Structures are given as C-alpha cells and as structure tokens.
C-alpha cells in the first residue's frame, strides 16, 4: 500500500520536510480553511497540491470533503449543498486528486472521553469510557430518556460519578467529547465557541424524527446525486465507518457493521461508491470481525486506516498497539497488499510519547507515536510483500 500521512496543512507543526524524512509517500489532507459547504476552487486545490509536490510528495487522498449536516438530515438547502459538493469533486478531479474520504455521522464525527489515558510504559492513548460517556449524556447534556440507552451497571456508575464530578471535571468532559476531537476535523464545534453544550443540543435537535431508515435514504440520495460526477472524473468516494460503530446520543448511525456496509454499497452499486476501511473504528465494536470485513469489502475499499483497539465488556475501548488489539493488522496488510499494492494507507491515531505531549497536536495525531506506528506497519508490509512476491523498491541508501 502507499504510505500516506494525515497532514493538517501549512499550520501543522509536523512539516512536509519532516514527513519526507520518515518515508511518507502520499499526503492525506483537506482545504481546512474553506468553511463546510463552500466550493473548493481549482486555484486553492492547485496551490496546495503544488506546495505538497514541491516537497517530493503527492496529495493522494482528501480527508475529508465534509458532508454538511443539512445533507445528512435532509434539510431545505441540501440540493444547493450537493451542487456545491459536485463542483468541488469535479475541481479535485481536474487537479488529479481522485480519492475522497468523508463520513455520514450525524453531529459528532468521532468520540472519545479521554485523550491522554496513561499506558504502563509512560505513553498515553485515546480512550472511550462508557460510564463517562453516559455521564456526559445523562448529566451534562441532560438528553431526554438518555438513561434508557445504558445498562443498569453503567447507570450505577453514572450515579456514583454524579456525586463526585466537579465543574472542572465536567468542563474537561465537554472539551474531550465535543470540542477537542471535533474542531480540527472541520466539525460543528470549535475551540473558543461560547456555550458548546447549547450548540450541541441545537444540533441534536435537527435530527428529531430522523431514524436509521431515513438517514440511509438521505445517504443514498446524496450518493446517487454525485455519482455522475464521480464517474466523469473517476472520483473514488470512500465513506469512513462510524466511530465508535454504534448508536450514540440517540442519533442514528449507518456505517457500523457488515449489514450497514453491504447496504450502502448495494444501494448505489458503482465502484466509485466505496469504503474507507478504518480498522480502528470497526474494531471498536465487539460485533465486528475486522479481518472478515476486509475480505468481504476489499474490492470496494479505496483507502485504509490502520490502527487497532482493545474492547472491554461494558463497551469501553482503548486504542491499542499496531501489533495488538482486535484489528489483526498483519492479516489486514496481507489482504489489502494482495488486492491492490497501490492502495493508499495511513496509520491512524497512535500513542503520545517522547515529548509529543507538549506540542499541541490534534488528538490522536502525535508525531513520535505515529512515526513509530508507520515504521511498524512498514516492517509488516515488507515481510508480507516478500511472502507474496510483491516487489517494492526500498532505497539502497537512506532516502
């Protein structure tokens, strides 16, 4: 697979010259300064593409071209927004960028409760604690009937927490769940927003009456509308699975498991309608057999995210080493290398280590941790390629 790296643009503290030194080939990025729903112009795309190329790298994948909430819940302006989306897609195609990662998760792009959960060796990883999440839902957000969505064991922990959490603890929870994880992915809530909880409640209200069936219909509508442009410009759309792959906060989620993936692929049976195989997100659901999913959906996979998780009996999960957890990354590499050795792949979230902590990197996107994970994946890939007889040239001298 092509070794790519998620880079957040010219303001990213991790620079392209650093990435070149560690063996990255392709860049995964977005026009982060263009507000959601606005057109990505040829000028802006070309400027960033050429900047990346000036470092000897290529802009391989867009992550993300965001799908506005209104397209997801089927608001009044969805057709106008879909038209804009099509123009952005065509412009990207004209500039030679053909792989587009997006998601169809309502309101919350991804969720964690702890962004620096300590590991025994002194590093830290992302963590999703079910009881803390339930506490956020029931006691901070105060969503109606939220308690019905959790087990009695989890609710008992929520009650215990409710007596102990300080206002500062509550603020930290809000920061982690709806601000820090969302701002940098062009999310709905940004650092500095006043009263994020109120904004969040208003966003949730937009989905009143939208169930799983309706959300699926809205996704199908969107995909059908954009497919002609995707065909004309060979745009490989690849939806990111829901993270975590389950219903949360009473919102419908539609890319959580095998049945869901099969549904949207069959709803628009065109190779340009594909999947981002995020091993980490899929592995966070105990119902998913990640290797089996890879075997089943490899021919519609256009982009791979490699990471893994450990799942606990109450549904909590923690991000694992790239050698461990539920994802079985070695086997995934075997499957995808055989399918298409040119498939873009990036290591996803990795631990914070060796000074990453003070740099202000986006949650999950450390430098040293991801560099280590990339080295690990590169090693696994080299062994798999040798096994499979796939020739890949490695420089004789460094660089």
Q: Where are the alpha helices (DSSP H) in the chain?
A: 16-21, 42-53, 69-73, 78-94, 130-135, 152-164, 167-174, 196-205, 212-233, 258-267, 279-283, 290-297, 329-339, 368-388
Min CB(280)–ligand DNO separation in Å: 7
C-alpha span between 41 and 98 (Å, rounded)? 15
Q: Whose structure tokens read 């702890």?
A: 114
Q: Among the candidate windows 41-49, 99-107, 162-170, 228-236, which touches ligand DNO by CB under 6 A? A: 99-107
Min CB(69)–ligand DNO separation in Å: 13
Q: Out of 348, 356, 361, 368, pick the active-site residue.
A: 348
Comparing CB distances to ligand DNO, the nearer of 68 and 101 is 101
364 part of the interface to ligand DNO, by CB under 6 A: yes
Q: Among the candidate windows 95-103, 250-258, 285-293, 389-397, which touches ligand DNO by CB under 6 A? A: 95-103
Instruction: Compute the half-sphere exposure of residue 80: CA atoms within 13 Å on the CB side of its CA.
Output: 7
Binding mask 164-203 for ligand DNO (x = CB under 6 A): ---------------------x------------------
C-alpha span between 27 and 397 (Å, rounded)? 23
Q: Out of 73, 85, 233, 365, pick the active-site residue.
A: 365
Q: Out of 73, 138, 278, 385, pick the active-site residue.
A: 278
242 part of the interface to ligand DNO, by CB under 6 A: no
Q: Is 11 exposed, middle or buried (0-12, 13-18, 19+ CB in 10 A)?
A: exposed
Tell me if residue 139 is catalytic: no
Count the residues of the shown chain that bind ligand DNO, applying the rule CB under 6 A. 11
Binding to ligand DNO in span 243-282, by CB under 6 A: 243
Min CB(241)–ligand DNO separation in Å: 9
Q: Phi first, then psi: what are they for 346, rounded to 5°?
A: -125, 145
Q: Are 190 and 200 in contact (CB under 8 A)?
A: no
Q: Among the candidate windows 91-99, 102-110, 244-252, 323-331, which touches ligand DNO by CB under 6 A? A: 102-110
240 part of the interface to ligand DNO, by CB under 6 A: yes
Catalytic residues: 240, 278, 305, 348-349, 365
């Amino acid at each position: 697979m092509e070794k790519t790296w998620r880079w957040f643009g010219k303001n990213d503290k991790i620079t392209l010259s650093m990435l070149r030194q560690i063996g990255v080939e392709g860049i995964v990025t977005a026009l982060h300064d263009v507000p959601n729903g606005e057109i990505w112009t040829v000028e802006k795309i070309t400027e960033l593409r050429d900047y990346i190329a000036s470092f000897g790298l290529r802009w391989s994948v867009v992550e993300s071209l965001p799908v506005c909430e209104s397209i997801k819940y089927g608001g009044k302006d969805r057709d106008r927004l879909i038209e804009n989306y099509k123009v952005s897609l065509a412009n990207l195609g004209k500039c030679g960028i053909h792989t587009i990662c997006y998601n169809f998760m309502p309101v919350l792009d991804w969720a964690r409760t702890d962004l620096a959960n300590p590991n025994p060796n002194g590093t830290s990883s992302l963590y999703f604690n079910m009881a803390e999440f339930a506490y956020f839902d029931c006691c901070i957000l105060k969503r109606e009937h939220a308690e019905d969505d959790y087990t009695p064991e989890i609710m008992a922990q929520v009650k215990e927490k409710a007596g102990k959490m300080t206002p500062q603890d509550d603020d930290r929870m809000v920061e982690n769940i709806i601000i820090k994880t969302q701002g940098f992915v062009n999310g709905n809530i940004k650092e500095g927003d006043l009263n994020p909880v109120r904004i969040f409640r208003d966003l949730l209200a937009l989905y009143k009456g939208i169930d799983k069936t309706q959300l699926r219909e809205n996704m199908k509508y969107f995909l059908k509308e954009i497919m002609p442009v995707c065909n004309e410009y060979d745009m490989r759309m690849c939806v990111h699975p829901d993270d975590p792959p389950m219903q949360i906060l009473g919102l419908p989620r539609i890319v959580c498991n095998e049945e869901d993936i099969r549904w949207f692929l069959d709803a628009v049976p065109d190779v340009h309608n594909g999947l981002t195989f995020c091993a980490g997100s899929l592995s966070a659901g105990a119902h998913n057999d990640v290797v089996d999913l890879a075997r089943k959906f490899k021919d519609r996979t256009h982009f791979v995210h490699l990471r893994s998780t450990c799942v606990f009996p109450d549904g909590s999960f923690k991000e694992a080493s790239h050698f461990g957890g539920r994802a079985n990354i070695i086997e995934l590499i075997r499957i995808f290398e055989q399918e298409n050795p040119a498939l873009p792949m990036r290591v996803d979230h990795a631990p914070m280590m060796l000074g990453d902590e003070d740099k202000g990197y986006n949650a999950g996107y450390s430098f040293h941790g991801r560099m280590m994970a990339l080295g690990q994946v590169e090693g696994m890939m080299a062994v798999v390629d040798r096994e499979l007889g796939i020739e890949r040239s490695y420089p004789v001298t460094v660089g």
